[in-house]
Amino acid sequence: MAIDKAMSDAMLGTFRNMVQECKDKNLSGEEFNKMVETLQKMEQYAEEMDDFAAFNAKLSTEGLMNTFSQYYGEVLANAAKEEYKSEDGEISDDKLMENTLGAYEDSLKSLKGTEQGEKIIPAIEKVLELGRSGISYPEFLTEIVIKGLDRALEGQVAMRDGIVEDLEWAKDSMLPVEVKMHEEILKAFDDSAVSSPFGLPDSFEHQLKRIEIEWKYKPEINKWHAVISRWQYMLEMFYDWLDAYCSFAPYDERWRTPGASEAQVKKNIKFTKECSPGFFKERERIFFESFGLKWEDIFEHETFINERKANRFEYSDERFDLIKRTYEHCKPFNDPPEELIDEAEKLHDEKRTHNPVRYKMGDKAKMEYEKHFGKI
């Protein structure tokens, strides 16, 4: 059975288009034949295999996409050499200039109206102006480098904007470690620009710095999120434990799982009531063993303070306070006092258990998304 056609079309469509493009231009030769053979092999695998992940791995491990691209490059390079020749068979500078300027004019058309494109268009217009000024092709190429237009065309302005966007996103999302990382990446970019001969950083040098900075922060990012996920789970256990004693528990999806009988629901509630304290104590031990943090340390910890500030904290202030007061009672073979159960009951009935601002995060995220990508 073949790979799902929609998936294989998505993967192979670009390569098919490249072959067609060459056919439309009447390109041929040994490299073209090898290009077609490589595509045929990919098509064959798409027919013979039924697992997309295996298909993707096959194409990658056999280097088929890479091989295709190499032959495609050679086909185009050979075609260009012929195209650029003048009548005496020599490479013509005028032809080279004509084709170069034509390519830039085409790119102008496709970039106009796009957010990223608008940043590169001034550089392209300068290149076109230079090319039409009457200078020779070698002079044109030299001037592009001297004026730093080659770096502008690499999209350095857009690159910086991309870094700034990443930083703003990290700030909006209140991810302090990611903010530190992106600030450092931006500083590295700006420092490189200052020290470079034409005021624009070399993209490769910046790439090296970026790799190093991201490498540096990865462990801290992992630790930050590891701590959050563990205390989140611990708080949830208290929340569930107390609610298991409430009158609404039998109707709550935490215990009334799909298809569960009444007996099963009762059993689920009993399990939470009687086992959660023991489970919590183990979680508390593992949390301390992992991070050197006790229960009470959570609320002063930078991850906790940040999550509350970022409105990613699940619970209302009242319900959170109740969770904290539940702690001392959550011991194996113990039950919570009636007054705490009554409070949980009341907060649930009055719908005051969850952080009301947390639900508004959806609007903020939507607003930020629309600011960057347009209206949904």
Partner 1 sequence: MKKYEKSKIYHRSYETEKALYEAISSASDLNEFKANIEEGNLAVKNAIALTKDKEIAFKELYDKLKESVRAKSSEEILEKIDEAKTDQDVVNIVTNIDQKNSVIIAVDLFTDEFYGDFKVLEDIEVWENAEVPDEWKDEIHESVQRDIEKGRKDWQESVLPNNRNWDPNWNFNYDLIWEERHRRLIPFSDEIVKKRIEQHKNYRGIN
Report if residue 81 touches partner 1, rule: CB under 8 A. Answer: no
- Cβ-based nearer residue to partner 1, 141 or 340: 141
Name beta bridge partners: 85.
91
Specify burial of residue 127 (Cβ count, 10 A radius: 0-12, 13-18, 19+): buried
Q: Please select the residue that binds partner 1; options are 274, 297, 314, 335, rule is CB under 8 A.
A: 274
Q: Is the dihedral of CA 182, 185, 191, 193 positive or negative?
A: negative
Q: Please select the residue that binds partner 1; options are 205, 307, 335, 368, rule is CB under 8 A.
A: 205
- The Cα–Cα gap between 256 and 265 comes to 5
Residue of 133, 132, 131, 162 lying closest to 144 (CA atoms)? 131
137 close to 184: Cβ distance less than 8 angstroms = no
- Cβ-based nearer residue to partner 1, 61 or 261: 61
Angle between helix 30-48 and helix 52-61 axes, rounded to 10 deg: 150
Report if residue 143 touches partner 1, rule: CB under 8 A. Answer: no
- Cβ-based nearer residue to partner 1, 131 or 201: 201
Report if residue 199 touches partner 1, rule: CB under 8 A. Answer: no
Residue of 353, 315, 323, 338 lying closest to 245 (CA atoms)? 338
Report if residue 146 touches partner 1, rule: CB under 8 A. Answer: yes
- Cβ-based nearer residue to partner 1, 205 or 368: 205
- The Cα–Cα gap between 164 and 374 comes to 18
Q: Locate all alpha helices (DSSP H) within 92-202, ordered by sequence.
A: 93-111, 115-131, 137-146, 149-153, 156-172, 176-195
Site for partner 1 in 50-79 (CB under 8 A): 53-54, 57-58, 60-61, 63, 66, 69-70, 73-74, 77
Amino acid identity, residue 23? Answer: K
The site for partner 1, by CB under 8 A, has a size of: 45
- The Cα–Cα gap between 70 and 238 comes to 60
State the minimum distance, in angstroms, from the CB of residue 367 to partner 1.
32
Report if residue 7 touches partner 1, rule: CB under 8 A. Answer: no
- Residue 63: alpha-carbon gap to chain centroid: 25
Report if residue 305 touches partner 1, rule: CB under 8 A. Answer: no
Query: Which of these segments, 113-121, 126-134, 165-173, 269-277, binds partner 1 (CB under 8 A)?
Result: 269-277
Query: Which of these segments, 40-48, 79-87, 174-182, 282-290, binds partner 1 (CB under 8 A)?
Result: 282-290
Specify burial of residue 89 (Cβ count, 10 A radius: 0-12, 13-18, 19+): exposed
Query: Which of these segments, 175-183, 284-292, 293-301, 302-310, binds partner 1 (CB under 8 A)?
Result: 284-292
Report if residue 215 touches partner 1, rule: CB under 8 A. Answer: yes
Phi, psi of 354 (to 5 degrees): -105, 155
In the complex, the residues that contact partner 1 under the rule CB under 8 A are: 53-54, 57-58, 60-61, 63, 66, 69-70, 73-74, 77, 138, 145-146, 197-198, 202, 204-205, 208, 211-212, 215, 218-219, 222-223, 226, 229, 271, 274-275, 277-279, 281-283, 286, 289-290, 332-333
